Structure 1
Amino acid sequence: MADPAQLLLVEDDKQLASMLEQILVGEGYEVDVARDGQRGLHLGLTRRYDVIVLDRGLPAIEGLDLLGRLRSKGVVTPALVLSALGNPADRVAGLDAGAEDYMSKPFDVDELAARLRALRRRAHDHVGALHVPGGTLDVATRQVTLAAGDPVDLSERECALLELLARHPRQVFSRAEILERVFTEAEDEGVVDTYVYYLRRKVGRSTVATVRGAGYRLGAG
C-alpha cells in the first residue's frame, strides 16, 4: 500500500481548520495543521509535503507573504489558496505569488478534493524525471537511471538530498541549509557529508560537486 500523501494546512480559523482536517484525512491525506503563518513557514521549510492549502488572512505572516517566502527558499510544493478574498484581482495576486490554484470561501468539498488531486497529478508529472549527472532521478520510485546500467535504488534521505540539488542545479547549498531542508531531525552537519558520500558511491563521484568553503551543488554532466 502506498504511503498517504502529506498535506500542510495553514488556517487560523480553529473550527474551519478542524473541519478541513477531518475532510482531508478522509480523502487519504496525512495532515499537519498550522494556525498562523510563522508556524506554516517553519513546517513548510522543514518537512516535505505533497501539497499545501493555505488561507490569506493569517496571523504573524500573511498567506501570500508566507507563500512567497517558501518559493524564495526553493520550496516548489504545489499550493492551493483557500480564501474569502475571491474577486479576480485577489485571484491574480494569489497566482502571481506562486500558488498553483485559488478557491474562494465558501467552497464545495468535492471540488476542493478534485483540485488537490489534479495538483498532485501535475506535480508528479513535472518531477517524474529530474536530470542528474549521467542520467535521471525518479522521485516517486527513488531510483536513478544512468545511461548505462540498471536503475540504482536510493534511500529516502539519499533521494531527498539528490532531489534538492537536482531541482536547483546551479545553486550552492551550505551544510546548514541542507541539514535544515533534508535532515530535519539531525543536529550534526556531518550527516550531510555522510550522505554525499553515499550518493557518490552509489551513483558516481560526479553526482555532487563540492564548492570549497561554501557547500555542495549538483555535479556537472
Structure 2
Amino acid sequence: MKILLAEDEVQLSRVFSTALRHEGYEVDQAFDGEEALSLSEANAYDVLILDIMMPKMTGLEALREMRSKGNTTYTLMLTAMAEIDDRVNGLDAGADDYLTKPISLKELLARLRALSRRFETNYSEQQLQLGNVTLDTQEQELKARNAIRLANKEVKLLALLMRHVGKPLTTGQLYEHVWGMQSDSEFDDGYVWIYISYLKQKLRSVQANLDIVGEENGDFTLVVKGGVE
C-alpha cells in the first residue's frame, strides 16, 4: 500500500513515516498543503493522510482541490481540534474519516489494516469510462469500437490503471492490488508483465485509444492516445 503522509510537524511526520515503513507501507512525505497537492497529482496513492492545519495550503483546501480534479483516493484527516464543526468541514471537503490528535499509532495502523481488507471488496465501480473505452467490471467486458471479455485479474489490473490514469504504478503496487499481499518469497512480478501484455493486446483488438506504457519489472502508466480523456 502506498501512502501520502502530509504533516507539517517534522518530528511527528518522522515518527509516523518510520512506523508505517516498518509495517511494510510505502510512504511519501509532504510538509505543506501545496506539496501534498503536487505529489497527489504526480503519483498514485492508496491512502492520503492529511493534517488539516498546514502552511501554504490547509489540508482541507488541498483535499477540495484534489476532489475537484477527480481524485477519489481514500483520505484520513488529522486534526488537533475535536470540535464537531472541524469534523464536519473535513467530511464536507471529501474526507472519508478523521483522527484527532494526539493520534494513537496503534489506532492508525489498525485503520490501515482494515482499509487493506476493504479494498479488495469495495474498491470497484461497476463501470469505468476513459477515452473511448468502457470497462464493465461485473460483466468483465472491455468495450471500445468493439467488445471483448476479460479474465478476472485482467479486469482488476485495468480498473486500477484506469483509476490512476497518467500516473506511474510500480510492478509491486500492481501485484499487491491484483494478486494480494504476499511474502517476498512468493512474489513473482513476472505475472504482472504477462497480464500487462495481455491487456495491451486486448486494448488494440477493440481499437481503444488507451495504451499501457512501461517496461518489464518497472513502472506502468495508462495513457490516452492524443492526451484527450
TM-score bracket relative to the smaller structure:
0.5 to 0.7
Q: Counterpart of 1:61?
A: 57
Displacement after TM superposition at 1:114 (Å): 1.2
Tell me if the contact between 1:86 and 1:103 (Cα under 8 Å) persists in the aligned partners. Answer: no
**Correspondence 1:89 to 2:85:** yes
The whole-number CA distance in structure 1 between the counterparts of 2:99 and 2:75 is 11
Q: TM-score of the superposition, structure 2-length normalised?
A: 0.64
Alpha-carbon deviation of 1:159? 5.4
Q: Which residue of 1 aligns with 2:111?
A: 115
1:27-81 superposed Cα distances (whole Å, 9 cap, x missing partner):
2211000011111001111100110111011111111010111111111110101
Give the counterpart letter for 2:80 in structure 1.
A
1:50 is matched with: 46
Deviations 1:116-162 (A, max 9, x none): 2233433443323542546428xxxxxx9339755186599965553
- Report the more deviating stretch, 124-133 or 27-36: 124-133
Cα distance change, pair 119–152 in 1 and its aligned pair in 2 (3 A) = closer
User: Cα 1:57–1:136, aligned 2, differ >3 Å: closer, same or farther?
Assistant: same
Of the candidates 136, 141, 156, which is equivalent to residue 146 of structure 1?
141
1:8 aligns with 2:21: no
Which of 37, 40, 44 aligns to 2:36? It is 40
| C-alpha distance 120-66 of structure 1, shift in aligned 2 (>3 A) | farther
Consecutive unaligned residues of structure 2, counting only runs of 5 or more, are 129-133, 143-147, 170-198, 211-225
1:1-221 equivalence runs, <5 A: 5-128=1-124, 130-132=126-128, 133=134, 135-136=136-137, 145-146=140-141, 149=149, 151=151, 161-164=161-164, 181-182=166-167, 200-202=203-205, 204-205=206-207, 215-216=228-229
Contact 1:83 1:103 in 2 (8 A): yes
Letter in 2 for 1:94: G
Between the aligned partners of 1:155 and 1:125, the Cα distance in structure 2 is: 14
Give the direction of change, closer, same or farther, for the CA distance of 1:85–1:146 in structure 2 (3 Å limit). Answer: same
User: Structure 1 pair 51/215, CA: closer, same or farther in 2 (3 Å)?
Assistant: same
TM-score by length of 1: 0.66
Query: Share of identical aligned residues, percent?
Result: 35
Distance in structure 1 (CA, Å) of the matches to 2:80 and 2:54: 12
Q: Deviations over 1:171-204 (max 9, x none)?
A: xxxxxxx6xx4359xxxxxxxxxxx9866315x2
Letter in 1 for 2:137: T
Query: How many matched pairs?
Result: 177
Given residue 19 of structure 2, which amino acid in structure 1 is its aligned partner? I
